Amino acid sequence: DQQVKQNSPSLSVQEGRISILNCDYTNSMFDYFLWYKKYPAEGPTFLISISSIKDKNEDGRFTVFLNKSAKHLSLHIVPSQPGDSAVYFCIAGGTSYGKLTFGQGTILTVHP
Amino acid sequence: NAGVMQNPRHLVRRRGQEARLRCSPMKGHSHVYWYRQLPEEGLKFMVYLQKENIIDESGMPKERFSAEFPKEGPSILRIQQVVRGDSAAYFCASSPWGQVVSYEQYFGPGTRLTVT
């Protein structure tokens, strides 16, 4: 039962263009969402988050949008840089204190 | 301020042996979480611990797996009588006391367990 779904296993983007990573969730009890980035042989690192009371949160080149009615969120990276190439996880929290539910991840490749 | 430490980074065990994975949280963090990542999948929550307490173990397999976070020392994830299906990357994360404002967790580099 995949409660957080990232339907695109991979995404390839040219440097300088926008990267859009999408995520859908099924559990309406989720009230907090995070995006983490993961490089090979390293643990995931926090990128940006959004509470369910908001519909947008921006941090530099990264913006997360939340559409609660559609149970959909997206991460926009603009402009994309080669160093952004990594696996991006969409993560949800709120159903149980401390427990995070991960999506399967999307491999982003930014070409120079 | 050192990050979350996990050791060993790689662990090879034969079927039937025991695996012990260690996690030292970030300084000042008293909440520890264990996740497992199987090939081609995202991380799956296993257990959430505070010092000397298991808070949520809803993701732990019912048999062979146990976790502890003693008053002193690292958190330990123990897998008894390992089987090939236990081969995975095991990640530990920690968060500060009073994780109220955000759900952010800090992850270690993971331990890759291979069962032969």
Mean local confidence (pLDDT), B38-52:
89
Predicted confidence band at B113 (pLDDT cuts at 50, 70, 90)?
Answer: very high
* Number of residues that make up chain A: 112
In the predicted structure, residue B59 carries a pLDDT above the cut 60: yes
CB pairs under 8 A, 24+ apart, for B35-41? Answer: B35/A100, B35/A102, B35/B90, B35/B91, B35/B92, B35/B93, B36/B88, B36/B89, B36/B90, B36/B91, B37/B88, B37/B89, B37/B90, B37/B91, B37/B110, B38/B88, B39/B88, B40/A104, B41/A104
Residues 46-85 of A with CB under 8 A from B: 46, 49
Predicted confidence band at A92 (pLDDT cuts at 50, 70, 90)?
Answer: very high
The pLDDT value given to residue A2: 82
Mean local confidence (pLDDT), B90-96:
93
Mean local confidence (pLDDT), A10-38:
95
In the predicted structure, residue B99 carries a pLDDT above the cut 70: no
Other Cβ atoms closer than 10 A to B108: 25
Rounded Cα distance, A61 and A63, in Å: 7
Percent of chain B whose pLDDT exceeds 70: 94
Residue A78: both structure tokens together: 């603009």
pLDDT per position as a tens digit, B24-38: 999 888 899 999 998
Q: Is A32 on the interface with B (CB under 8 A)?
A: yes
Average pLDDT, chain A: 94
Strand-strand pairing, B10-13 and B111-115: parallel
Chain A residues in contact with B41 by the CB 8 A cut-off are: 104
In the predicted structure, residue B98 carries a pLDDT above the cut 70: no
B56–A4 CB contact, under 8 Å:
no
- Measured in whole angstroms, the distance separating CA A44 from the mean position of its chain's CA atoms is 12
Predicted confidence band at B40 (pLDDT cuts at 50, 70, 90)?
Answer: confident
Q: What are phi and psi of A24, to 5 degrees?
A: -125, 150
Chain B residues whose C-beta is within 8 A of a chain A C-beta are: 4, 31, 33, 35, 40-45, 48, 55-56, 58-59, 91, 93, 95, 99, 102-110
Mean local confidence (pLDDT), A42-55:
93
